[in-house]
Amino acid sequence: MDKAALSKEILKLVGGEENVSQVTHCMTRLRFNLNDNKRADKEALQKTPGVMGVMINGGQFQVIIGNDVPVVYNELVAGMSKSPDQKAAAADSAEKKKQNPLSKFMDFISGIFTPILPAITGAGMIKGIVALLVALGWMTTENSTYIILSAIGDGAFYFLPIVLAVSAARKLGSNMYIGAAIGAAILHPTITALLSTGEPVTFASLPVVAATYSSSVIPIVIAIWLASYVEKAVDKVTHASLKLIVVPTVTLLVIVPLTLIAIGPLGVIIGNGLTGGINWLFDNTGLLAGLLIGGTMSLLIITGMHYALIPIMIASIAQLGYDYIIPLMMVANFAQGGATFGVYLKSKNKKLKSLALSTSITAMMGITEPAMYGVNMRFKKPFIAALIGGAAGGAFLSLFKVKAFVIGGLAGLSGIPMVLGSTFVLSLIGFAIGIVVAAMVTYILGFEDVPEEQVQATPVAAPAADPVAAPAANEQHMVTEQIFSPITGEVKPLSAVNDPAFSEEIMGKGLAIQPAEGRVVSPVNGTVFSLSKSGHAIGLVSDNGAEMLIHIGIDTVKLKGLHFSPKVTAGTKVAVGDLLMEFDLAEIEKAGYSTITPVIITNIQQYDSIQSAGQASVKTKDLLYTVKA
């Protein structure tokens, strides 16, 4: 199908121009904001030659094209009566009028808690390891090593208000260090001792209510939210020469006493109420709580609503030493893996069986996106089976009050240390129930199996060459080639990228890097064949024919070039180590975007395999992986 015909087919299958509120494109995909996603024929689009995949992410209906996306976009725009700019202006105006409070709240919660999860996870894993060592009799609680390890594990939880203050201030665009100072003040040993005496305490004749702020969540979040308004208001009316002194002083003098007098006690009451309410639900409703939460957890994850549970889980672990929700998250993930395994057992298609088995394994490990989006939701009935499996396993976990004792690891096999404790064996039984029920229901309900020629859930055929696409590689001359790291940071598998286009290897294969600095250099000797308008993605072709994509962050196209500074243009010849791009890592993360960067080979079908260099972290120009012909 030529590009003009493909663009017309895509426009028809997304519901026609009247259903398109806005359309843009990034390096690999067309990004539609549709008036009604249900009017788009997703299945027909997935089967359309030239379309690599379809996904809905962040409300956008995304059609993955590959290197040909600029040409398809231009053809699509040429066939529309209104330009994308006109549609974008109308869409922005409508969006401002909508102002969905729930979406804003969920974005706020996820933006606060997602960045702190590594600290909480690391501390939680250490607590789990210490508990295991004590349970096995390899360490005693009087041992100095135990005391030090316990402090390492408890530190992030005890000083949680300070950690949260920094994250919340960053999300709200206020000063992180003023936020940290507010958290430190309410945790100061003198104030802690003063409030624990039981004697009446006042501040300027106003009563200070006794409350415990260590390990608390809600008081500091409310305090930093209010502090952001105070800080900005004071900043607005203060002369530039005095801002350094006046703004932090006034903010601290207003917010810290206000927190101790009113915000803190109210936040503690709300936090205790939420934690107590969840625990009451599990203690008094038997299997019903687990049935409902386990059965709907995957739906909550899809919509992002699960972020609202994070503060409750953290508060429960910090205050009570256990949590009921984490095991339900785990069983929901195991059920997704079980349903995909059911597809593996039922399908007669060899390629689909291979896809189902591999995604089942990743789901069991706690990375559910490939299984959920690539198989279960695609065939519908397996997803229903996964919900049923999650409900069955959740009911068992709830009935026997199975608990998690730490937060640490993904909600899968790698997170098993989280449930080490008095209910450990019961947790394993519950997880097994989720897997088995989901697999059995998938097998019994069945699904519409696909013929061999239609099985490619993740087609990776190289797009045809055109003036703005990568030069077509000659398969007869492909050679083994070393790919060097374009970025300094931690090496991650593509499965860690929260975007099915990369995690399911739709666009190609390779590795991802979590950047430690905002510089991108060339990983090969070759040519820059494309650079996205927003600067977030760079396409290169090596002198030996390897076509590459470096995609800085996820959904960073929405920044429209903000915080990106390209140093090359399309057509630039480059050598390994030449500077391609600089970007403001802190500002991009502050804006709420993941900066994990896939570095992939897009014409991977012309190679036999990719072999990682095996490094956990890399610097620019270190060997990242080798593509073998």
- Across-strand partners of 490? 514, 617
Query: For residue range 254-310, what is the model confidence (pLDDT) as tens digits?
Result: 999 999 998 878 877 777 777 777 778 887 887 888 899 899 888 877 655 666 677
Greater pLDDT, 119 or 431 = 431
Looking at the structure, do residues 221 and 308 belong to the same domain, yes or no? no
Looking at the structure, do residues 298 and 422 belong to the same domain, yes or no? yes
Lowest mean pLDDT among 80-84, 512-516, 548-552: 80-84
Q: What is the DSSP letter of 79?
A: T
- Across-strand partners of 543? none
**216 occurs within a structural domain:** yes
Question: Average pLDDT for residues 504-514, to the nearest whole number?
Answer: 87
Asked if residue 553 lies in contact with residue 595, where contact means CB atoms within 8 angstroms, the answer is yes
State residue 92's pLDDT score: 47
**138 occurs within a structural domain:** no
Residue 72 confidence (pLDDT) above 80: yes
Looking at the structure, do residues 548 and 424 belong to the same domain, yes or no? no
Asked if residue 620 lies in contact with residue 485, where contact means CB atoms within 8 angstroms, the answer is yes
Looking at the structure, do residues 448 and 528 belong to the same domain, yes or no? no
State residue 467's pLDDT score: 35
Between vectors from CA 361 to CA 358 and to CA 367, what angle results, nearest 5°? 105
pLDDT band, residue 462 (cuts 50/70/90): very low
Residue 460 confidence (pLDDT) above 60: no
Looking at the structure, do residues 293 and 238 belong to the same domain, yes or no? no
Looking at the structure, do residues 174 and 291 belong to the same domain, yes or no? no
Lowest mean pLDDT among 307-321, 494-508, 532-546: 307-321
Looking at the structure, do residues 486 and 603 belong to the same domain, yes or no? yes
Which phi and psi (to 5°) does residue 495 adopt?
Answer: -65, -15
Residue 476 confidence (pLDDT) above 70: no
Question: Average pLDDT for residues 508-527, to the nearest whole number?
Answer: 93
**517 occurs within a structural domain:** yes
Count the neighbouring beta carbons within 10 Å of the beta carbon of residue 298. Answer: 25
Catalytic residue selected from 26, 306, 536, 563: 26
306 is catalytic: no
**70 occurs within a structural domain:** yes
pLDDT band, residue 461 (cuts 50/70/90): very low
State residue 475's pLDDT score: 42
Q: Which of 237, 259, 277 is the last residue of a domain?
A: 277
Greater pLDDT, 565 or 273 = 565
pTM to 2 decimals? 0.52
Query: Percent of the chain at pLDDT above 70?
Result: 88
Total structural domains within the chain: 4
Looking at the structure, do residues 291 and 222 belong to the same domain, yes or no? no
pLDDT band, residue 210 (cuts 50/70/90): confident
State residue 415's pLDDT score: 80
Question: Average pLDDT for residues 519-536, to the nearest whole number?
Answer: 88
**381 occurs within a structural domain:** yes
Query: For residue range 6-57, what is the model confidence (pLDDT) as tens digits?
Result: 999 999 999 998 888 888 887 678 888 888 888 999 889 988 888 877 888 7
State residue 367's pLDDT score: 74
- Dihedral in degrees, nearest 10, Cα atoms 44, 47, 52, 55: 30
Tokens of residue 523, six digits: 């990983």
Residue 91 confidence (pLDDT) above 70: no
DSSP three-state, residue 598: strand
Q: Which of 66, 99, 132 is the last residue of a domain?
A: 99
Lowest mean pLDDT among 327-336, 347-356, 462-471: 462-471
Looking at the structure, do residues 621 and 494 belong to the same domain, yes or no? yes
Asked if residue 474 lies in contact with residue 450, where contact means CB atoms within 8 angstroms, the answer is no
User: Where do runs of H (alpha helix) occur along 14-100?
Assistant: 42-46, 69-78, 84-98
State residue 285's pLDDT score: 80
> Domain of 77?
3-99
Tokens of residue 444, six digits: 């019994």
Looking at the structure, do residues 519 and 617 belong to the same domain, yes or no? yes
pLDDT band, residue 478 (cuts 50/70/90): low
d(CA 352, CA 375): 9
Average of per-residue pLDDT values in the chain? 83
Count the neighbouring beta carbons within 10 Å of the beta carbon of residue 275. Answer: 23
pLDDT band, residue 96 (cuts 50/70/90): very low
- Dihedral in degrees, nearest 10, Cα atoms 41, 304, 616, 331: -100
State residue 87's pLDDT score: 54
CATH number, domain of 82, equals: 3.30.1360.60
Residue 582 confidence (pLDDT) above 60: yes
Between vectors from CA 479 to CA 476 and to CA 483, what angle results, nearest 5°? 140
d(CA 272, CA 283): 16
26 is catalytic: yes
State residue 84's pLDDT score: 62
**121 occurs within a structural domain:** no
Looking at the structure, do residues 337 and 260 belong to the same domain, yes or no? no
**303 occurs within a structural domain:** yes
Lowest mean pLDDT among 63-67, 136-140, 327-331, 336-340: 63-67
* Contacts with 528 (C-beta within 8 Å, 6 or more apart), sequence order: 538, 539, 540, 568, 569, 570, 571, 572, 574, 580
CATH number, domain of 500, equals: 2.70.70.10
Query: For residue range 151-188, what is the model confidence (pLDDT) as tens digits?
Result: 998 888 889 899 999 999 988 888 999 999 999 999 99
Catalytic residue selected from 306, 536, 551, 563: 551
Q: Which of 255, 277, 299 is the last residue of a domain?
A: 277
Looking at the structure, do residues 587 and 563 belong to the same domain, yes or no? yes
Residue 454 confidence (pLDDT) above 50: no
Tokens of residue 300, six digits: 């909550």
**470 occurs within a structural domain:** no
Residue 398 confidence (pLDDT) above 70: yes
